Amino acid sequence: MTDTVDAPLIGTIAILGGTGKEGKGLAYRWAKAGYRVLIGSRQEEKALVVAEELRAMLDGSELIKGMTNELAAGQADLVVITVPYAAHKAMCEQMREYVQGKIVIDVTVPLVPPKVTRVQMPPAGSATQEAQQIFGEGVQVIAAFQNISYEHLLHDEETNCDVLVCGGNKASRQVVLKLVAAAGLVGWDAGVIENSVVVEGMTSILIGLNKQFGIQSAGIRITGIPDSH
């Protein structure tokens, strides 16, 4: 991927598989920040129900709509994939034609139950790299939000975890970093797509720590960098 593409303006975000915890938490934060958010699902009825729940949390905001994954991806400026890894490849193949020319944030972690505390990366290297292979060079695929505890996002709680953003080109990473900030989180440019191996693999370690200490909020922080960065 090159660093020559100008950063697009983002007004509408589609969250595919948006009826799960990850999608709902991000949708809530982004709609609250003023973005139009499309909740996508294989079943339109599920998407409509979740969209209504989120609108109620935001005093009836009309910024959130529910629809099928295909409609959401086609209408959006930027697409977010928040599906379990078992559904990841099929989702990417189904959405390939709808995401061309767009930024795709891949939140997927290649967890392989029942041993979810063991890092198990796919042949492509990471879920993000797998998505990039399927979508092709016309799509900027970015890894982000893998290590966030989404329970906190829905309840306006402080999330004690930074967000590492890697993949795509520098301009697309800057777009995603703005969305990280809009969600009330601290983000860092973590470089090229190959680095997504570390970001995704860290999730299994955090899950193991959560189980060890009976919590749901283990996270990571980047330290030692001056606040003026």
Chain position carrying tokens 């905001």: 61
Encoded tokens for 19: 């009826």
Question: Contacts by 51-56 with C-beta closer than 8 Å and gap 24+?
Answer: 53/24, 54/24, 54/27, 54/28
Which tokens sit at 125? 């290297």
Per-residue pLDDT of the chain (229 residues; tens, 9 = 90+): 434 344 566 899 999 999 998 899 999 999 999 999 999 999 999 999 999 999 999 998 999 999 999 999 999 999 999 999 999 999 999 999 999 999 999 999 999 999 999 999 999 999 999 999 999 999 999 999 999 877 778 888 888 899 999 999 999 999 999 999 999 999 999 999 999 999 999 999 999 999 999 988 899 999 999 875 5
CATH class of 12-213: alpha beta
The pLDDT value recorded for residue 8 is: 62
- Interacting residues of 22 by C-beta distance below 8 A, sequence separation 6+: 82, 107, 145, 150
Neighbours of 194 (CB within 10 A): 13
Q: What is the pLDDT of residue 229?
A: 57
Task: Find out whether 78 and 13 touch, Cβ atoms under 8 Å.
Answer: yes
Which SS3 state, helix, strand or coil, does residue 180 take?
helix
101 within 8 A of 76, measured Cβ to Cβ: no
- Cα-based angle 173, 177, 180 (whole degrees, multiple of 5): 140
Residue 215 CB neighbour total at 10 angstroms: 10
Angle, helices 196-213 vs 127-135, to 10°: value is: 140
Mean pLDDT of the chain: 93
Q: How many residues does the chain have?
A: 229
Encoded amino acid at 217, one letter: S
The domain locations on the chain are: 12-213
d(CA 109, CA 131): 12
Give the count of alpha carbons within 13 A of 46, CB side only: 13
The pLDDT score that the predictor gives to residue 131 is 98
Q: For residue 144, what pLDDT is reported? A: 98
Q: How many CB atoms lie within 10 A of CB 108?
A: 28
